[in-house]
Structures are given as C-alpha cells and as structure tokens.
Amino acid sequence: MLIASATGKPIVARLSPWTLAAWGIAAFVGIPLLAVLASWRDPAVDVWAHLWRTQLAELTMNTLLLVAGVGAGTLTLGAGLGWLVVAYRFPGRALFEWALILPLAVPAYVIGFAFLGLFDFAGPVQSALRQWFGDAARLPELRSGPGVALMMTLVFYPYVYLLARTAFREQGLATLETARSLGRSRLRAFFAVVLPMARPSLVAGASLAMMEALADFGTVSIFGYRTLTEAVYRVWNGMFDRMAATQLASLLLAFALVLLLLERALRGRRRFTQSQRRGPGVDPVPLRGWPAAAASVVCGLVLVLAFVLPIGQLLLWAADVIRSWRLSPDFVAWLGATFLLAGAAAVMICVLGLTVAYARRLHPSPSVRFAAQCSSMGYALPGAVIAVGVLAPIAWLDGVLGVVAEWALGRRLGLLLTGSACAVLFAYAVRFLTIGFQTLDASLGRIPSSFDEAARSLGVSVGGTLRRIHLPLMRGSVLTAFILVWVEVMKELPATLLLRPLGMKTLAIEVWERTSESMWADAAIPALAIVAVGFFPLFLASRLTSDAWRR
Amino acid sequence: MSLVVLSEVTKRFHPDRPPAVDRLSLAIARGEILALLGPSGSGKTTILRLIAGFESPDDGRIMLGGRLVVEAGHERMTAVPPEQRQVGIVFQDYALFPHLTVEANVAFGLHALTRAARGERIREILHLVGLADLGRRYPHELSGGQQQRVALARALAPAPALLLLDEPFSNLDADLRAQMRDEVERVLRSTGTTAIFVTHDQEEAFTIADRVGVLDRGRLEQLGAPETIYHEPATRFVAEFVGAADFLPGIVTSEGIVTEIGTFANVQARAPGERVRVMLRPDDVTFVAGHDGEGIILRRDFRGSETLYRLGLPSGDRVHSSQPSSAAFTVGTRVHLEVPAIHVVTFPAE
C-alpha cells in the first residue's frame, strides 16, 4: 500500500511506532460505534414491530421532552445564577459563587433517589403535609416527565453556570459599559449584548447538560420514566435480545449526533471570540433591600434543593443505618472493587491518552490529528450505546480465543473476556478517553517544543525525552487526569451494569440495586462514598486555576 | 576539509508556496564561525533545523564531518536522527529544563561519561562560562544572561562537532547583548568550536562571524567576509538589507559612470550606454556647505556621536550622509556633495 503525502513522498517512510499506536487506539475506540451501526445488517424486525406498536412513540417523545426540558431548565437556571453572581453584590454572594457548583459532585441518580425518599407519598414531607392539611394534601407527582426534568436540571445546571460565569466575566466591563453608554439599562444591556455574546458558552453548557440527560440511566430508571437509554437496558436484560438492544442503541446514537450537530450550529462561527480578550471584570453592583434579599433567597433555594437537602437526607439515612448496625458487611469489598476497577481504568486511560497526545506532538500529520479526534469522540456516546457496542466485538473475540484455545490446549476455556473485567474496561476506555487525552494534551501543549529539540540534540532518544523531560514536567496533570477519570468511572452506571464481570459489585451498582427496590436508606452510605469521591475534581479545579506555571 | 556541507538543499512546508529553503549549497570549515543573516521568513532557522535533523530536506543532501546524515529520497537508509548527529544547539528561548538544576541541565547530554568524569566536565564547563558557583540553582532563579550561559554550557558540554545558535541574543537587553556577544565568541574561539548562528541583526553577525551568509526567501544571496558583504554587496537585496544605502541613477559612458553628483569609476566594467544605479552608503557621502551647492539639507537626525543628514538633489533624488556630530548644519543649508570613490558598487536599473 502506498499512500502519498502532500509533498508526494510516500508516508510509509515516516511511520513511527507512535503513529501506529495512535491509529490503533482510534480504531479501538471506533469499534463499538461500528458494531452498533453494523447491527442494522440484520434488523430485528419482530422486535421493532413490537416496539412500534407499543412503546416506540412513547420512548421517543419521553426522551425528547426530557432533553428539551433539561436544556431549557439548565439554561435558565445556569445563566440566571451566573449573571446574578457576576453582576450583583448581595448577602452570601461569595459563598454562593463557589457553592453553586457543588451539585456537580453528586451523580444525578443519587440526588434523584434522595428526592424520592424525601418527597414520596410515604416520605417525610408529604406525611407532614397530610398531618397538617388532612389526607387530601398532595404534592405533584415526582415520578413524571416534569419531575425527572426538574431533578436533572437541579443536577446539571452547574455546567451552564460555570461556563456562563466565565463568559460573563471575560467579556468584561468594556462590553457592558459600551452598551450602557449607548443608553441601555443594565438589565436591557444584559439581554441585548451580554447574553448574545455569551451564546457559544451557554450553548456548550446546555448541550453538555442535555447530553448527560440523554445518556442518563440511573435517574430515569429509579423514577420509572421510560426513555431510550432505559429501554436499551430493558430490552437487553428483560428480553435478552442483544440485536434489538443494539438497534435501539443506534437510535439513541442518532439522538446524540443530532444534539452534537445542533450544538455546532447554534454555537455559530464565533467560537473563539471569548477566549482571547480579557478586560477588567464586570464590577458587581450592590443590591439593597428587597432585591438583595430576593437574590440571596433564589441562590439559597437552589443550593438547598440541589445539594443541602439531598445530602442532608443521605446523612440522616446513613446515621440511621449505622445506629441500627445494618451496614452490609460487604461494604468494604464493594469499596475495594470500585477503587480497583476505577483505578485500573484510570491507569489504562492515562496511558492511552498520553500515547495519542504524544503521537500528535511528534507527528502532527492530518492522519494522526484525525486519529486523535476519533479517540476523543466517546464523550458524545451514551454509556448504554457503548456497552452494547462493546459486547459484540468482545463476544466475537471470545469465540476466536475459544477456538484457538481448544486447538492449542485441547480443552474449552469458556468465555474468557466476556466474563472478565475486559469488557467493562474497554467500555470505560471508549467513554472516558476524551478526559484523559484532553487533560494530558493540554499539559503537553504547554511544554515548548524547543525542550524536545534540546533533549534530542543532547543525544537523548524520543522515549528518553518523554521519560526525562515531559513526564516530570507533566506530573501534576497526569495526576489530575487520573483522578478525573477515576471519579467518572466510579459514578458510571449503565455500562458498568451491563458489562460488569459476574458477581462483581461496585458502589454505583449497590446504590442502583437498593434504590430500584425503594430501599433508600440502605443506599445512603454507598451513595455518600461516591459523593465524597466526587469532590476531588472540584477541589482540583479550584486549585489548578490558582496554580501558575513555574519557570 | 569542510565540516558541514549542504548540497542543493530544498525544503518546502507547503506544496503551493515557495520553498522555505531553495537549492541552498554551503560549506563550513572546521573551527569557522558562520552567521546566517536575513529578515524573518528568509529560511535561516529552517536551515539550522535541517542541519540538526528536526526537519528533513525535500531535495539535496547534508554531510556532517564527512558523513552523509541525510539525503532526500533516501531517508530510510541515510537519515541520522538528531540525537546521533553530535550537534549542539542554543535555542532562542534557551529551552532550559525547568525541573532540573543548572548542573543537571548541563549533565543532560553527558550520559556516556562515568559519574566522576561527568562531575569533572560539569565543573570545567561551568567554569568556562563563568557560572562555577551557581550549579545548584534552578533556571528560574537565574537572570537572563545567566540562563543564556547555562544554555551555552549545556550545548557545549558533550563537546559537539558543531554548535548551532538560533537568535541567541534576541532575548537580552541591549547592553547585556553586547557583553554576551563577546563572551560567547570568546568561549567558541577558546574551545575551537565550529558554529553557525542565525540572526537578523547585522552588527551581531559582523562582530562575531568569520563569514556571513545573507539569505532572502530561502536563497543564499551572498556568502563572504563581513567587509565584503558590507562594501561589495552582490545583489541589491544584500545592499539594502545590510546597512542603509541610497541608489542614485547613473549612465555608463567611456569616462565612467556619470551621475548627478559626479562621475564614478566603472570598476565592474559595465557596457557603455547601460543605465545603472550607484549604491551610496551614508558613510561614503560627505559634503561641505556652500551657497551655490547643488544639494540642500532636507532633514537632520541627531544620533549621538554622528548625525544623519538627508540631502535633496535638483532631480528630486535623495541621498543620505552620516557626519560626525562635532559640526552641525541646519536644515535648508545648501551643500556641495563629495563622494570619495573607494567602493563603487552598481546595479542594473530596473
């Protein structure tokens, strides 16, 4: 095979192990996607007919409504809170400014089940209402479309809030003052200038939130709300029809792609308008009297609903479990299994991410850049899609291995890979490689290329340069990438649930199993363990922003 | 025998754009210091990167110390990777490794030596650059000049056959620059190192280098001693890039080259009747005041020890003259121009 490069020379002459590795990793990430698409070669007609008659319309509508609701909700809440915190001064602002990010540390399904426990018919809130106002007193049903959308809005608004806050701040005083010097009031200037200028950030934040809502499995299944993600699992586990599950997953995939394209289109051409300019920040205007109180109350209410209340409820349940000696003796084993699985995934992803990032640094050819892009597309794929996409190739490989083993050893080995952690690690790699790659790539990018050249000219090879120059300089970022992936893997539910080795239980799975039996209190301690771990990235983020590059 | 030989080397980064280095041939003798001088984008840094092995040529070949290190079209057989070329480099940004001390930076290229020999070499080389007692510091604890010395020490420590310096003084302020220039030249001469350095500063090139190569758009316009480059530029580009110059129209006659301000010897033996431009450096042109003079002072720029005058001629052409500041003439003074014809350089009129 001869591939000609731009200058007409055969590329083969420049093939390095790094390039090959980057291509290999890109192919590895692409396999599940191709497997999902390939399922259409053999459509499961009867299942589709059944679904069409029964649920397909409902599933699609439900999914669309949920995603739209979460998009609108997070946009309103995130942008509103962001502007409040950036533009005004009111009691508690300093606290709210960082505390409003906290819900990000809590997986949606955890907040979800805490809420169900709190506001369910049998929960403390409704019981109290009935006591005060008689048996007719009811709250609107939480296990409904609006209920789920509200729940996810409370969990995912920080994506919009974070990006909006940065965008509002970086546009600086100048924009706002220009608008006001042209006769706009502060509020009208916000709608006329600040909001449109922040559009790319807002769209990016909202689409992250919508992506999460689309991929969410835990919350919708606890709330009994039927979406496509949930259906993939149900068809798989209930009907044991992998082909149909895979084809449903491809429908989900189509939704994810539409979201992605929508984001690109809405973000517009002004992709980089905000990153470069950095004027003086917007000077917050002090609020007095009623407006000040209202601002504090709004921020406080969101924080209480999205964080204080659910975490408080979890703590109460946990205390109850501990007092009555009901903590499962297996808890330590689950903790160990979770840490081990997440640790293994994080190490693997850091190695893969570093390989791709380094290949791109050494050989920034179009093919390697494309490989890097392919390797980081997993963030757009819902965990359920990846899970079904991983299983087909793994099962095939198992078959091949079985034949080889039988021929070489003369006996059957059974399903080596499917039953082991290989499948779930494969899925994690596809899903979270983006996080590892982008963290390490950014860090590598901050190291001047003259360092590489200096090392090479002093007689040190490519590998030696990585070991003696880049890795020592990237130490902090490698740790960051490791922790970010580690935490994400711990929280991950759908792929873990579908692909875990037989008999293996992680914290997330324990939470899901207990909550699907409505045993809220028993899920509290594992949930709190996940939440505690989830604080690491927030802590890292706040530390990294103040950390300057030492030279 | 030449240490470095480039034969017909071409490098293009983009198929649709002119090459960054265009059929460049160059030979450098052992112990020689060569400056590559040219505006930004003239390909001078690319030449260094080709010699160091960070880029590979699209055409031509490069030999180092009699060994073929790369030949276009045969990279797989010939290309010697940078780490095996024994070429030291001093980078524009120094590229000191921030996580290593000065000693560890200098030791970085000394992996072939024993521990004792390495320590000895580090001491020796740090002493040479005058940093004997700063070995334990980290780069960020050093001043700009000290960082420059560490970069030089690190590049020289493995005793490379060839040293490349990429705009080595551009990050220093003016007075430090002159000092480091002398220092670097002293170190290079005392170690007998062959060096190529790249600069856009002609003064830098002239003071350090044995020979200067002037580059324009990837082509070597002229290669020669600094005096030759300045006084006998081979092309109009060299004449304009190296020092200030005016180009006065003239016509070749049997008497010589006749211009508005006098007749010059036809040293280049141009054909009679040819229209040419005569190059005049400001330091070649003098004048005396006289109310019937053909020129008039249009502008006066005081530059300290000397003053630059812009003189208008009857035809409307302008000529510059640099005079000691001891005498001052006011704008509007009429003057007689005098041009002692030491170096007469002419170019065809376009």
Give the model's pLDDT for residue A262. Answer: 84
Query: Which residues are within 8 A (CB) of A182 and not within 5 positions of it... i.e. 6 or more apart?
Result: none
Strand order in the sheet with B334-338: B286-289, B334-338, B295-302, B306-312, B318-324
- The ipTM is 0.82
> What are the tokens at A119?
């506001």
Cβ-Cβ pairs closer than 8 A, A with B, add up to 77
Please report, for the domain that includes residue B314, its CATH number.
Answer: 2.40.50.140
How many angstroms away from the CA of B210 is the closest CA of chain A? Answer: 25
Helices (H), chain B: 44-52, 75-78, 102-107, 115-128, 144-156, 174-191, 202-208, 226-231, 236-241
Residue A319 in 3-state DSSP? helix
Residues 106-135 of B with CB under 8 A from A: 108-109, 111-112
Cβ distance A343 to A486 under 8 Å? yes
pLDDT higher than threshold 70 for residue A11? no
- CB A453 to CB B82 under 8 A? yes
For B334, other C-beta atoms within 10 Å of its C-beta total 16
Specify the DSSP class assigned to residue A226: -
- CB B99 to CB A472 under 8 A? yes
Q: Do B118 and B13 lie in a common domain?
A: yes
**Pick from A8, A450, A456: CB nearest B82:** A456
Q: What is the pLDDT of residues B94-124, one digit of tens each?
A: 999 999 999 999 999 998 888 999 999 999 9
Looking up tokens 């080259």 gives B257
Q: What is the pLDDT of residues A331-360, one digit of tens each?
A: 899 999 999 999 999 999 999 999 999 999
Q: Does B58 touch chain A (CB under 8 A)?
A: yes
CA atoms of B310 and B319, how far apart (whole Å): 6
If one counts the domains in chain B, the total is 2
pLDDT higher than threshold 80 for residue B208? yes
Residue finishing a domain among B194, B211, B240:
B240
Domains of chain A: 44-323 (1.10.3720.10), 326-545 (1.10.3720.10)
Give the model's pLDDT for residue A305. Answer: 92
pTM summary value: 0.81
How many angstroms away from the CA of A546 is the closest CA of chain B? Answer: 19
More confident: A154 or A53: A154
- CB B155 to CB A450 under 8 A? no
CA A176 to chain centre: 33
Please report, for the domain that includes residue B181, its CATH number.
Answer: 3.40.50.300
CA B70 to chain centre: 25
CA atoms of A485 and A349, how far apart (whole Å): 8
> What are the tokens at B67?
């060994």
When mean pLDDT is compared across A4-8, A277-281, A315-319, B333-337, the lowest value belongs to: A4-8
Per-residue DSSP letters for A237-297? HHH--HHHHHHHHHHHHHHHHHHHHHHHHHH-S-TTHHHH---PPPPPEEP-HHHHHHHHH
For CA atoms B265, B270, B276, B279, the dihedral sign is: negative
pLDDT band at A280 (very low <50, low <70, confident <90, very high): low
How many angstroms away from the CA of A468 is the closest CA of chain B? Answer: 9
For B115, other C-beta atoms within 10 Å of its C-beta total 9
pLDDT higher than threshold 90 for residue B57? yes
- CB A459 to CB B111 under 8 A? yes
Task: State the best of A15, A453, A457 to mutate against chain B, taking most chain B CBs within 10 Å.
Answer: A457
Residue finishing a domain among B204, B219, B240:
B240
Q: Do B167 and B249 lie in a common domain?
A: no
Q: Do B229 and B254 lie in a common domain?
A: no
Q: Do B123 and B13 lie in a common domain?
A: yes
Cα distance between the two ends of chain A: 46
SS (H, E, C) A433-449: HHHHHHHHHHHHHCCCH
Residues 7-26 of B with CB under 8 A from A: 12, 14-15
Tell me the average pLDDT across A147-176.
Answer: 84
Q: Do B171 and B278 lie in a common domain?
A: no
Task: State the best of B46, B48, B50, B54 to mutate against chain A, taking most chain A CBs within 10 Å.
Answer: B54
Q: What is the pLDDT of residues A435-482, one digit of tens each?
A: 899 889 988 988 999 999 999 999 999 999 999 999 999 988 898 889
Give the model's pLDDT for residue A8. Answer: 38
Q: Do B185 and B235 lie in a common domain?
A: yes
Q: What is the pLDDT of residues B141-182, one digit of tens each?
A: 999 889 999 999 999 999 998 999 999 888 888 888 888 889
Cβ distance A534 to A511 under 8 Å? no
For strands B59-64 and B33-37, give the pairing: unpaired
Q: Do B225 and B253 lie in a common domain?
A: no
Q: Which residue range forms the structural domain that includes residue B106?
A: 2-240
Residue finishing a domain among B240, B261, B289:
B240
Q: Does A366 touch chain B (CB under 8 A)?
A: no
Q: Do B126 and B89 lie in a common domain?
A: yes
Q: Do B206 and B290 lie in a common domain?
A: no
Q: Do B17 and B97 lie in a common domain?
A: yes
**Pick from B92, B98, B109: CB nearest A459:** B109
Q: Do B82 and B161 lie in a common domain?
A: yes
> What are the tokens at B338?
């005098």
Q: Do B226 and B254 lie in a common domain?
A: no
Q: Does B175 touch chain A (CB under 8 A)?
A: no
For strands B211-216 and B219-224, give the pairing: antiparallel
For A326, other C-beta atoms within 10 Å of its C-beta total 11
> What are the tokens at A363?
């050989």
Specify the DSSP class assigned to residue B321: E
Tell me the average pLDDT across A135-150.
Answer: 82
By C-alpha distance, which of A168, A201, A210 is closest to A268?
A201
